[in-house]
Structures are given as structure tokens and as C-alpha cells.
Amino acid sequence: MTTTATPTPVEKLAAGTADYLDQRTGIGTFVKTFARKVFPDHWSFLLGEIALFSFITILISGVFLTLFFVPSMNEVHYEGPWAAMNGVEMSEAFASTLRLSFEVRGGLLMRQIHHWAALIFMAAIVTHMMRVFFTGAFRKPREVNWVVGFLLLILGLAAGFSGYSLPDDVLSGNGLRITDGVVRSIPIIGSYTSYFLFGGEFPGTDLIPRLFTVHILLVPGIILALIGLHLFFVVLHKHTQYPGSGRSDKNVVGYPLFPIYVAKAGGYFFTVFGVIALMAATMSINPVWNYGPYDPSPVSAGAQPDWYMLFLEGSLRLMPGFTEFVVLGYTVSLNVLIPAMVVPGILFTLLAAYPFIEAFATGDKREHHVLDRPRNRPFRTAFGVSLLTAFFILVLAGSNDLIATHFHLSINDITWVFRVLIFVGPWFAFWVTKRICLGLQRKDRELVLHGHETGRIVRFANGEYIEVHKPLDAHERWLRVQHDAIRPLEIEPAEDSRGVRRKGYALDRMRQRLSQTFYEDRIEPVTPTELAASHSHGEHDAVGPADEHAPAALTGAVGGGQHLVDPQDETTPDGRNR
Amino acid sequence: MKALAARRQDRRAPIVLLLLALLLTGGLYAVLAPTSADATPVKASTNDIDTGEKLFQANCATCHGPAASGTASGPSLIGVGAAAVDFQVGTGRMPMQMNGPQAQVKPVQFDQEQINQLAAFVASLGAGPAIPTAEQVDPALGDVANGMLIFRTNCAMCHNAVGAGGALSQGKFAPNLWATTPTHLYEAMLTGPQSMPVFNDANITPEEKRDIIAFIDQQGGTSPGGLDLGALGPVSEGLWAWVVGMGLLIGAAVWIGAKSS
């Protein structure tokens, strides 16, 4: 474009700089490759970006906070603008948090940005994980990246919890006391571990500096490294894409990174930052001056952790207290051990291991780059919903006191309802979701075989009424028939032809049972044969009455109605991005 | 009309209709909801025990007995003092509207003069705590920081760290304290209504009670960080992080995703 014109000074400067860098780093090839890298487009692919961008916001605001926060448990007397704390004895950590909030310019805003961004970070991780789970984006070759993402979730919990505890206020102190209790409930090593973590009897004087190191160095360092790995895998595997015409496991349909996604992602970073800043500027979060400096004696009503730890609180609240026993002089605190260790252990293990369980059940060794529509994998979708239901019930149980006061209910009744629901709810959610998925698949079959209802009723001369159906265009149809029908595994018999028992039969049998649980109930997609059969059936309907009674004008244009309305132009892109 | 009919098919129509319906319901409620009667404190008239007794017989004797000595459905009032009457009747808890886990606040049924007359009658039955003076409950005279320390040791486990209220067992609850007058706060500490323990003057001195009142007055409902979200702690923060934060961000993602295709 500028071949004929002489380059402007700005262009010259840019070209000069680029050339300088390229000669020394060879960055040109890198930029060329990346700028042309194609990404598929869908809003749900931005969910992970929310997590990334809120993490950047956390890093930036966190650096500001470290300039003023003093991670020390030395006792001081507060003197400052917050009247309710004047002269009160507190740790330097809490005093510096108050100073940060009320005396440092912009300090309170930065604290609130940091904390809101942390809540959004965890929420975005969970939402992103839901997207990956329900669309089956964890299948080969991405199982390892699922595990990396899972570790990021756990590290996010660790980062959040360690940061939440730093200001050394009553609420976070209560949280630490619960943590201490949970650690102590571990048989045999519990009390030793507690002393090791806290540097002596709880709360000690070592904890805040230790948590500080964990919170600003250890955990964020590992998170950054894993984010790098996570994104490296995305580049390596290429991004998954939703099913649609022209998309297969062998291609990526989308737009190049530059300029489309550079602009989109850049803009979205500022959107994420803007929303967090807006929340931080208008909504109070973690007002530690309400809770006061930590002191092991007081606990206030409504003492709960941040939302991502709330399920643990709920689990503890649901557990009946009588399950603590003294055996041979040793206390076995099942009332703490089960809700705080076993329950999250089960939930997280299922979450982390699911890709491997599913791969075992399908026996599928192929690579998958086209996503599943959730309805087409009823077991997986139902399983995910039931895990989420269990999590949600625990979150509600952790908020039982607020539910009681806000809806004028008895907290005892609520607790009992949740005690039942935590066993019944996930099963019920599983069943409902599976039925809905199967129903939606039937609807898809129906659409493919018979087309859209048009609401046009045609009466034949013999008095028969039929509704005209409009056939699906090629894109719509492909979307509904492209997936594989996964059937339960067939295994070799227990004995070979000579009646010798086969090695590995027991494992195969187990695998088959699992596979049957996953795929016994299924609706298979319409096959070309079925489609052809349905077409001829439609035409037969149409031809029959037309031959006998219908006016000539209607001949071939009426019936089960496959061709009464002209099919849409099959090359229009309308149906593609659905 | 034809344009309207066409628009009716728009897929945004249900959302718009829902919003309009909500707006209408809210608006109607705001207009039609009964406003709460505000009892203005009146200087207690000269001893009017007789009038108080008549009021008592007409409104309270059914449950508390004609001699205020209690029945199966209401406790004895002998010795509860004027402070208890001023609190229970002055906040609308008595006469009780319905049976339930605990007596609920409702619009006050008597004016301050009648309440004083009732209080005078009950006080005449036996010695009990008196209604505090204005000076005893003046938040300006209290030490906020000391109030904070006493409050969080004695009150926060039921009433929440800043008095936003909390749940008790079997549907009972510790109410929000922000709209309670200083006099009623003082009387509640002194007489221990319903599930609340009595904090007598040996337990928490009158000066310390005033400190607590000063703390509630200074801190309750103030929020330097913006909207207080009910001062309920991390649960409401988490809820709003999902509703506002994730709501806006997912909305923006859908918008950006829809922009190109």
C-alpha cells in the first residue's frame, strides 16, 4: 500500500525499531507465526480470559498493598482516624491494614480492588472449568491441561485463603482457628502438624509472616508458572471449536490472532479491570474495621469465609456433632474429619479424575478438537450438574444463618433439610439433567427427520389437513447429526474358544459395567439412511393425496412437506455459529 | 398497531415485560405500603398509674393476668420495671401480634404518653429497672473504642460484628440494631428481652452500656468502602461478586463474542 509513497517518519521509525529487534532476536518469525495463528470465536472462550485478567489485576494491586502492609504480629496500640479502634491493642498487621485503608491515598480502593478481583478470579476459574467440562474440552489430548487447570483452582483457593487471613482480624482469625481444628482432626499426626504450621500453640506469633510468604511469593509464583504452562498447552494443542459445518478435528476455523483477537483480548482486559474497579469503588468488601483485631475469644454472628471456601463451612455446619469418639484415650474427631477432609476430598478427586474416568469408560484413543454439545453426552452433563448441585447445597448450608434471618425460617429446620438434600439433591439433579439431555436429543432427531414446524396448514381436496414442515438447511442439520454415538464397550468373553480363562477379564468386565453406566441410555444421531427413509416417507405422503385429489398446482409441493418451502441456500453462513 | 404486533415477537419482549411488571409491583408497593408510626418521645406525665392500669386491663391482661402476675400464656410483670415496658411496648413487640418463635417488631400501638402510663403502672407493682435518662444513653458521651471491645465480647456473637443481626435456634433471631433508639438499646441490655441475656449494672456498668451505644451509633450502617451490602460479611460479598461481577463480565463476553460473527 505504501509501495509507491515515500514512508512517513513514523513508519520509518517503526520499521527501524522492528528491524533492530529482528536482527538481534529473530522475533520476526515468532510474530509472524503468532499473528497468523487462528482462534475459533465464541463468547464462552473468553471465560478463561476473565480469570487471567483478574489475576493480572490481583498482581498489580497486590504489589501496591505490599508497599504498606506490615506482616508482623507485634502488639501495638492503634492511633488513627478510625475512632472505634483508637487506643485498642492489635497486631502490626491489623494496624497497617487500617492505615492502608484510612490513611494511604487510594489504599482502600486498592484493597477493595484486590479483594473483589480475588473473588472474580475464583468465580471465573469455576465458570471456565464448567465450560471446559460440559463441552468435553478435557478429552485427549487435553487431559494434562485439565489437571493443570485443576491445580490452578486449588492454588487459587490457597492464595485466597492465605490472603484473607493476612489482615489478622477477628473473622480471618476464626477461619484460621477452624483450619487449626481441621488439621488437628487428622489422626495421629494432627496435633504435631498444627504445632508445625503455627510454630507452637495457636495462634502463636509466626503465622502472619509465614502466610505472607505463602501469599505473595510461593503461591503466586506457582500460579504464574502454571498459567504459563496452561497457555502453552493451548497454543500447542490449538484451541477447541464448537461443532458446525466445515469444522473438524483436523482444522481450526476462526480468525487470526492479529488484529482480531489482540483487539478483543486487549479490550476485554480493560473491561475486566473496569468492572472490578467499578465494584471496588462502589461496594465495600472485607471491612476489617468492623470485625476488629484478632483475639481468640470473640466470634461474631455471620462468621463465614469467602464464597469459594463456603462449601467447607457448610459441610462442617451440616455434620452432626455426636460423631466424636474417644478410643483408648485418643479423640477421634470424625465430626471434623469427615466434613472438612473426606467430603472435599471426594468432590475434588472426582473433579480432577473425571477425564481419565471417562476415557476409561469410552476406550476412546482419538484426539478431539471439536467440542461436544452438552446434550449429546447426557451422563457427563448430568454428572457435572450433580457435582455442582452438591457444591451449591454445601454453600447454602454454609449460609444457613443468613437464610434463616432473611427468610424467617428456623435454622434447625434448614440444617435438617440440607442434611437430607446433600444426599438426595445430587441424585435428583443427575436424573433430571439426564432426562433433559435425552429429551433435547430426541428433539434434535425430530427436527432433522421432519424439519421445522411452519404453522402453515394445508387442506387437501379430500378434506385431509397437514402441516407443512420446513426442512433444515445443511448447516442446521449437520450441527444435529455430526456427533458420534458412543455405545457401551463390547468385551471379549471370559474364556477363549478352548475354555481357558482369559487374563484381564475382571478388569474388562468392570470397564464394561462403567461404560454401560455411562452410555446405556442414549439417543443416537440420525443416520443418512434414516434421513433418506424419512424423506421418501414424506414424499410418499405428499404424492398419495396429490395423485388422487389435489389440484395440479399443488402436486409435488405438499405433504410431510419436505419440499413445499424451498430449502434455504445451503451455503449461507447463518447456521454456522450456533 | 402493526409495528407493536411485530415487536411482540421480539425475543427481548419477555425481559422488557418482566422488568415493567417488577417496576409496577415495586412502585405500587412503595405507594400503598403502610408507613410505620413514629412514636415521638414525650416527657413522662405525672404519675398516672390509674390510666396505666386501665390500659393494661384493656390490652395486656388477657395474657399477663388481671393482676399482672402472669398466666399460662404470658409471664408475670411484677418487678420487670418501667424499662421493660418502655422497650417491649415502645418497639411494638407488645402487645404481641401473633404466637411465634419470638415477638416481632411491628408498628407501635400506643403513643409515648400511654407507654409511660403503662410503664408507671407496671413499675408500681414492684421495684425494677427504670427508663434511663437522656444523658445515660447519649452516644456523644460514650467511648467508641471501649464500646467496640465490649460489644464484640458480649454482643457480636448474636447481633453480628456491627449489629446487623443474626440467627438463633428454632427461628428465633437477634435483630438488627441500627434503627433501634439509644434508649431502647439501653433498656434491652438492662432487661434482657426474650432470648437476650440480662446485662445488669454489675456485669456491664452504665458507662460501658453508653460506650456500646456510642459504638453502634458510630459504626452501625456507616461504610467507608461504599455500599455495605448489608454488613453481612463474605456471603453477601460472594453473592454480589457473582451477580454483579460475573454478570457484567459474562454479558461483556457475549457482546464481544457476538461482535465478529
Q: Nearest CA of chain A to the CA of B144: how many Å?
A: 5
User: pLDDT-derived band of residue B221, with 50, 70 and 90 as boundaries?
Assistant: low
Distance of CA A314 to the CA centre of its chain: 21
Rounded to 5 degrees, φ, ψ at A521 are: -85, 115
pLDDT at B28 over 90: no
pLDDT tens readout for residues A164-214 = 999 999 999 999 999 999 999 998 898 999 999 999 988 888 999 999 999
10 Å CB burial of residue A246 (0-12, 13-18, 19+) is exposed
Contact B253 A43 (CB under 8 A): yes
Section A489-499 average pLDDT: 85
Q: Contact, A239 vs A253, CB < 8 A?
A: no
Residue of B nearest to A296 (CA): B153
Q: Per DSSP, which regions of A142-283 are E strands?
A: 255-256
pLDDT for the residue numbered A272: 96
Q: Nearest CA of chain A to the CA of B118: how many Å?
A: 31
pLDDT for the residue numbered A33: 84
pLDDT for the residue numbered B17: 85
Contact A286 B147 (CB under 8 A): no
pLDDT tens readout for residues B139-153 = 889 899 999 999 999
pLDDT at B208 over 50: yes
Q: Minimal CA–CA distance to B256: which of A480, A212, A53, A43?
A: A43
Q: Per DSSP, which regions of chain B are E strands?
A: 166-167, 173-174
Quote the CA–CA distance of A357 and A513 in Å, as a whole number: 12
Q: What separation in angstroms does the CA of B3 have from each of A465, B9, B10? A: 32, 10, 11
Quote the CA–CA distance of A441 and A378 in Å, as a whole number: 9
Task: Out of B171, B233, B245, name the one closest to residue A120 (CB).
Answer: B245
Considering the domain delimited by A37-295+341-372, tell me its CATH architecture.
Answer: Up-down Bundle (1.20)
Rounded to 5 degrees, φ, ψ at A455 are: 80, 0
Handedness of CA B120, B122, B126, B127 (dihedral sign): negative
Cβ of A321 under 8 Å from any chain B Cβ? no
Section A262-288 average pLDDT: 94
Average pLDDT value over all residues in chain A = 88
**Chain B residues within 8 A of A576 when measuring between CB atoms:** 261
Residue of B nearest to A265 (CA): B256
Fill in the DSSP letter of residue A453: E
Three-state SS for A575?
A: helix
Cβ of A103 under 8 Å from any chain B Cβ? no
- Taken as a whole, chain A contains a residue count of 578
User: pLDDT-derived band of residue A27, with 50, 70 and 90 as boundaries?
Assistant: confident
Quote the CA–CA distance of A470 and A559 in Å, as a whole number: 11
pLDDT for the residue numbered A395: 96
pLDDT at B45 over 70: no
**Chain A residues within 8 A of B244 when measuring between CB atoms:** 279, 283
Quote the CA–CA distance of A443 and A436 in Å, as a whole number: 10
Q: Name, in order, each residue with C-beta under 8 angstroms of A169's C-beta and a sequence gap of 6 or more.
A: A94, A97, A288, A291, A292, A293, A294
**Chain A residues within 8 A of B248 when measuring between CB atoms:** 275
Distance of CA A263 to the CA centre of its chain: 25
Q: What separation in angstroms does the CA of A541 have from each of A80, A527, A567? A: 88, 21, 19
Fill in the DSSP letter of residue A573: G
Section B85-94 average pLDDT: 91
ipTM confidence score: 0.86
Contact A402 B245 (CB under 8 A): no
10 Å CB burial of residue A498 (0-12, 13-18, 19+) is exposed
Q: Minimal CA–CA distance to A280: which of A531, A526, A8, A65?
A: A65
Quote the CA–CA distance of A239 and A312 in Å, as a whole number: 34
**Chain B residues within 8 A of A128 when measuring between CB atoms:** none
Q: What separation in angstroms does the CA of A100 have from each of A13, A91, A306? A: 44, 14, 21
Contact A405 B156 (CB under 8 A): no
Q: Contact, A448 vs A480, CB < 8 A?
A: yes
Q: How many other C-beta atoms can be found within 10 angstroms of the C-beta atom of residue A499?
A: 7
Residues paired with residue B167 on neighbouring β-strands, in sequence order: B173
Cβ of A70 under 8 Å from any chain B Cβ? no
Quote the CA–CA distance of A316 and A340 in Å, as a whole number: 6
Q: Minimal CA–CA distance to A395: which of A111, A126, A112, A116?
A: A126
pLDDT at A546 over 50: no
Q: Nearest CA of chain A to the CA of B218: how many Å?
A: 8
**Chain B residues within 8 A of A44 when measuring between CB atoms:** 253, 257
User: pLDDT-derived band of residue A256, with 50, 70 and 90 as boundaries?
Assistant: confident
pLDDT at B258 over 50: yes
Section A346-354 average pLDDT: 95
User: pLDDT-derived band of residue B38, with 50, 70 and 90 as boundaries?
Assistant: very low
Average pLDDT value over all residues in chain B = 85
Quote the CA–CA distance of A233 and A239 in Å, as a whole number: 9
Domain architecture of chain B: domains with CATH: 40-130 (1.10.760.10), 132-229 (1.10.760.10)
Q: Which one has a higher pLDDT value, A570 or A404?
A: A404
Section A455-481 average pLDDT: 90
**Chain A residues within 8 A of B258 when measuring between CB atoms:** 43
Section A557-572 average pLDDT: 42
CA dihedral angle for residue B233, residue B234, residue B236, residue B238, rounded to 10 degrees? 170
pLDDT for the residue numbered A195: 94
A562-571, B25-34, B244-253: range with lowest mean pLDDT: A562-571
pLDDT at B51 over 60: yes
Residues paired with residue B227 on neighbouring β-strands, in sequence order: A283
pLDDT for the residue numbered A3: 54
Contact B167 A264 (CB under 8 A): no
Contact A410 B153 (CB under 8 A): no
pLDDT at B43 over 90: no
Q: Are strands A324-327 and A452-459 parallel, antiparallel or unpaired?
A: unpaired
Contact B157 A86 (CB under 8 A): no
Quote the CA–CA distance of A317 and A336 in Å, as a whole number: 10
pLDDT tens readout for residues A518-529 = 999 999 999 988
Q: Minimal CA–CA distance to A203: which of A306, A331, A91?
A: A91
Residue of B nearest to A401 (CA): B167
